[in-house]
Amino acid sequence: MAPWRRTRLVLAARRQMTMMGRGPICQEGIMWSRLLSFVVLAFCLMAAHLPASATIWDSVPDEQLKALELSRDATPKELFDSLSKRYRAELTKGKHAKFWEPIPMDMYLAPTLFYKAPDLDMQVTREQCASCHESVTHGWVASWEKSVHANLDKIRALPADDVRAYKKDIITEVEANLHSQGLLEQGAQLKDVGCADCHLGIGAKAGNHKDLHLPDRTVCGSCHLRQFAEAESERDTLTWPQKQWDKGHPSHTVDYMANVETATWAALQQREVAASCTMCHTNQTKCDNCHTRHEFSTVEARKPEACATCHNGVDHNEFEQFMLSKHGTKYQTRGDSWDWNARLADQNTKGGFTGPTCQGCHFEFNGQFTHNTVRKVRWGFLPFQNIADNLDDPWFQDRKTAWIGTCSQCHSPRFAETYLTMMDNGIKEGTKLVEETRKVVQKLYDDKLLVGQKTNRPALPAPEQDEPGGFFSLFFAQKNQTTLVDRTFAEMWEQHVARYMKGLEHVNPGGWTYSHGWSDLIKDQAIINEQDTLLREKAQLEQRVQKLEGKAGASAKLSSLDNRKPQNLLVSLGADPLYAGGTLAFLGGGLLLGGLAGRRRNRRGDTGDTPQ
């Protein structure tokens, strides 16, 4: 299907959707028949990316070809060369490079940058790898033996009605990619994909053990070029209209850079602690976060648990939210009767799926399933105020329309629109709580009233810098670097409001109001408002005592001078700092402070999590 046609459909959808708004029930005035016809058309698209001969697949978006300065008639070799050149150029130690040194483990996490082969000078043939390693590390050999890589002919022999038959086309596609790159003789077929192909070089017959490499994305992408291009296109399709995030962020394809360019990460002296962040931020560096070596099972990669190692926990608990939603319980109760060998596009038909998965919703875009998981991203990783303020921008509206298409696989478009609008409104309410509280925190910091702020708050290790409730509060606490107020607010803006959002996004009731979400945010607000009152009352009492001491004469003054430092902070408070929390209404100026964390986060360019 020609690109212009999809564009027209999206525009039509946008028009439809902007008519819906958030009116009271029964005043919708929407032409449902028009919407209906739109959806019917939209789903005609689900036939998806036909690998048109001699052109780049239509699952590779225009934005990427433009960025690479390639036409859609480019050869696989041209596409691969262009992609891998950019890939290597953008995978570096980053702007904070001077602040940290890799530890040995890093060579396995970012092999392109750090891998060194074992110092074993031994000439080996292609056949010797598996036979020798069967006794050394039999587990990985056994896994490979179960993989498609070891059994290409078994795939080729599948009958056409086998749910895995689509893999035959993939083999053909891979062979075409290799032909184009001159890595497989024209007309020749792949026999198998063995250790040597990935660790020595595609088609290698022999080599020296000390020349082994650990595959990065380009090694997988040489064969799986379409998937490589789709995944890499996350850099190109995520261009935030109001610069809420840097281009391509947050996405899998830049997640390693997001990691190393985070000041907090670079500042951590305990590199084993920093390594934990890196463990997940390695989709940019390799492919086996989802496609576990050496079985590379597609069945595994299609199941929600494949996302779980990274997408769980304090601020990106998508996995838990999904599992406790009705969507997730459907998976847990009925998933064993679904055929996981069906590819994503076939799951609801050949696969017999009666519920959604992470992959089924997030890999889909306008009826097509690709490795670009961020084409419908709207709220991203955190609900920034400058996202909340711009949801009417067509960029956001188009993406909402795309989501309605996704949900409409199983729900009525009206239901989907109604839910997504409620979700948006809910997220805005959470964001509002955070911004209200940010003002209280900032005022305490500006008034220098945080515990120990003037006497016991040492500078953070470079390149990290102080700010009230900054991201660093989760990782540094020497002396009073992190106070209760800092920590509480860091959890509020970086964790709790994120979980609140993700609860709404994944339709898990307990996830956004009660067990987590709103209730957590209210607790944060309560703690910070209480600290605001307490710290100001404390300052005032000290002031009163100081005044009394002043009256008590010179001898008293002398004895208390040395330990009266904390009171000096009152000088900066002006007339009456008491109950500033109660007078916030006079502050005015709207969200002057609101974008702070956002900007910080943005500056850090953090995270490669797939949002929404």
**Which of the residues 336 through 365 are near a second copy (CB under 8 A)?**
336-337, 348-349, 352-355
Q: How far is the CB of 159 from a second copy (least distance, A)?
A: 21
Chosen residue from 13, 451, 460, 573 binding a second copy by CB under 8 A: 451
- Annotated binding-site residue? 294: yes
The annotation status of 496 as a binding-site residue, yes or no, is: no
179: annotated binding-site residue? no
What sign for the dihedral angle of Cα 348, 353, 354, 359? negative
- Which residues in 86-203 belong to E strands, given as ranges? 123-125
Q: Is 44 annotated as a binding residue?
A: no
Among 5, 8, 22, 603, binds a second copy (CB under 8 A): 22
Q: Of the two residues 386 and 513, which places its CB atom closer to a second copy in the complex?
A: 513
- Residue 132 assigned as binding residue: yes
140 vs 395, which CB is nearer to a second copy? 140
Closest to a second copy by CB, 544 vs 603, is 544
Residue closer to a second copy by CB (options 76, 351) is: 351
Q: Of residues 63, 204, 533, 591, which one binds a second copy by CB under 8 A? A: 533
* Binding residues among 271-330 for a second copy as defined by CB under 8 A: 272-277, 279-280, 292, 295, 297, 299-300, 303, 305-306, 308-310, 312-315, 323-326, 328-330
Please classify residue 567 by burial: count the beta carbons closer than 10 Å to its beta carbon, then call 0-12 exposed, 13-18 middle and 19+ buried. middle
Q: Which of residues 118-177 bind a second copy (CB under 8 A)?
A: 118-120, 122, 135-140, 142-143, 146
Among 177, 483, 610, 612, binds a second copy (CB under 8 A): 483
Residues 551-610 that bind a second copy (CB under 8 A): 551-552, 556, 559-560, 562-563, 566, 576, 578-579, 581-582
Minimum Å gap between C-beta 62 and a second copy is 27
* 186/337 with CB nearer a second copy: 337
Burial pattern 568-577, b for ≥16 Cβ within 10 A else e, equals ebbeebeeeb
Q: Find, among 147, 115, 114, the residue nearest to 130 by Cα.
A: 147
Which residue of 332, 465, 568, 572 would you call a contact of a second copy, by CB under 8 A?
Answer: 332
Q: Which is nearer to a second copy, 560 or 572 (CB)?
A: 560
Q: Select the span of 4-12, 418-426, 592-600, 604-612 touching a second copy (CB under 8 A).
A: 418-426
Q: In whole angstroms, give the CA distance from residue 479 to residue 466.
A: 14
Looking at residues 94 to 123 of the shown chain, list those that interact with a second copy (rule: CB under 8 A).
101-108, 114, 116, 118-120, 122
- Residue 355: partners with Cβ closer than 8 Å, 6 or more residues away: 327, 330, 331, 334, 335
26 is in an annotated binding site: no
Size of the site for a second copy (CB under 8 A): 158
Shortest distance in whole angstroms from residue 265 CB to a second copy: 10
> Cβ closer to a second copy: 241 or 582?
582
Give me the least distance between CB of 43 and a second copy, in Å please.
6
Rule CB under 8 A: is residue 414 a binding residue for a second copy?
A: yes
Do 545 and 431 meet the contact criterion of CB atoms below 8 Å apart? no
Across 425-451, b (16+ Cβ under 10 Å) vs e yields ebbeebbbbbbebbbbbbbbbebbbbb
Q: Which tokens belong to 289?
A: 């976060």
Q: Could you give the C-alpha distances from 203 to 188, 196, 490, in angstroms and in order?
A: 12, 7, 51
* Closest CB to a second copy among residues 235, 601: 601
Q: Is 211 in the site for a second copy (CB under 8 A)?
A: no
Q: Is 327 annotated as ligand-binding?
A: yes
What spatial distance separates the first Cα and last Cα of the chain, rounded to whole Å? Answer: 27
CA distance 457 to 82: 49
Q: Which one of the spans 38-46, 52-60, 82-90, 193-201 is the region binding a second copy (CB under 8 A)?
A: 38-46
- Strand 368-369 and strand 364-365: pairing? antiparallel
When asked if residue 255 is in the footprint of a second copy (CB under 8 A), the reply is no
Question: Coil, strand, or helix at residue 122?
Answer: coil
Q: Is 210:118 a contact under the CB 8 Å cutoff?
A: yes
Q: Taking CB under 8 A as the rule, does residue 510 contact a second copy? A: yes
3-state secondary structure of 80: helix
Nearer to a second copy, 126 or 411 (CB): 411
* Dist. CA 250–CA 380, nearest whole Å: 7
Does residue 294 have a cis bond before it (omega within 30 degrees)? yes
Distance CA 611, CA 245 (A): 13
62, two tokens = 């225009």
Residue 369 parent element (H or E): strand 368-369
Site for a second copy in 534-553 (CB under 8 A): 534, 537, 540-542, 544-545, 547-549, 551-552
- Does 452 participate in binding a second copy (rule CB under 8 A)? yes
Smallest gap, in angstroms, from Cβ of residue 28 to a second copy? 6
290 in a known ligand binding site:
yes
How many C-beta atoms surround the C-beta of residue 238 within 10 A? Answer: 22
Q: Which residues contact 426 (CB under 8 A, 6 or more apart)?
A: 500, 504, 512
Report the phi/psi class of residue 137: left, alpha or beta, with left for phi > 0 and alpha for psi in -120 to 50: beta
Binding to a second copy, residues 360-399 (CB under 8 A):
none
Name the CA radius of gyration of the chain, rounded. 28
Question: In sequence order, which residues have a C-beta less than 8 Å from that of residue 354 and are 6 or more positions away?
Answer: 330, 334, 338
Torsion, Cα 168 172 174 177, to 10 degrees, reads: -160
Considering only residues 81, 162, 211, 429, which one is a binding residue for a second copy as defined by CB under 8 A?
Answer: 429
For residue 39, state whether it binds a second copy (rule: CB under 8 A): yes
Annotated binding site: 129, 132-133, 149, 195, 198-199, 209, 220, 223-224, 252, 277, 280-281, 287, 290-291, 294, 307, 310-311, 327, 358, 361-362, 371, 407, 410-411, 506
Binding site members for heme c: 129, 132-133, 149, 195, 198-199, 209, 220, 223-224, 252, 277, 280-281, 287, 290-291, 294, 307, 310-311, 327, 358, 361-362, 371, 407, 410-411, 506
